[in-house]
Amino acid sequence: MDGGTATNLGEAITYVLTLSAGFLAAYFFWKWASGGGPGRIMRRFAGRTPAPTWATGEWACGACHTVNRASLVACERCRAPRGATQMTFAAIPTEPDIIPATIPVGAGSTVSLEHNPAAHLEGLNGHWRLRVNSVIVGSAARRDGALALLRAVDGVGAVVFDPDGAGYAHYALPALITAFEGPKLPLAAPCPEKGR
């Protein structure tokens, strides 16, 4: 390969790379200008589904169904005012608490009380769960429901619980019931009920 051919090949590769970069930049600009935003573009490239409207603060126009950025006061596409055309989304129906009157526990069984902080963000109901030998036997959305689950346990003196994220430990059932009856929620994890 002589010097002239190598130069021509190098120029061709540079031209193709420059052209590709230009098309890619134009695509990103077009997506940005059409309301895609950097987060939505990166989620699409990563193969993740876009976050739901109620989680990002974005709002949907009832006239043309365009999803708009939270900062906009009028629809980006049809210019309809936000207050007049913003679509509202119905809340996800929650499941009822599952609190048996009594929870019989056999000898040698392990009873654990779990708190799922992700349930607060996802709008799930049963973020308190009671398990007997790894089987969920009851769930509750609020602290008083968790207390009712603990009171329903019959036949065991200790419950496994992780109040501070340091790992599960055994707690005497009467002491755990007393802690849940107290004014402060015995939990260090994030929970909306801690402020009540």
pLDDT tens digits along 73-83: 999 899 999 88
pLDDT tens digits along 42-58: 555 665 555 555 556 78
Contact 92, 119 (CB under 8 A): no
More confident residue, 132 or 121: 132
More confident residue, 128 or 36: 128
- The mean predicted confidence, pLDDT, of the chain is 80
Helix axes 37-45, 3-33, angle to 10 degrees: 120
Burial class (CB in 10 A: 0-12, 13-18, 19+), 56: middle
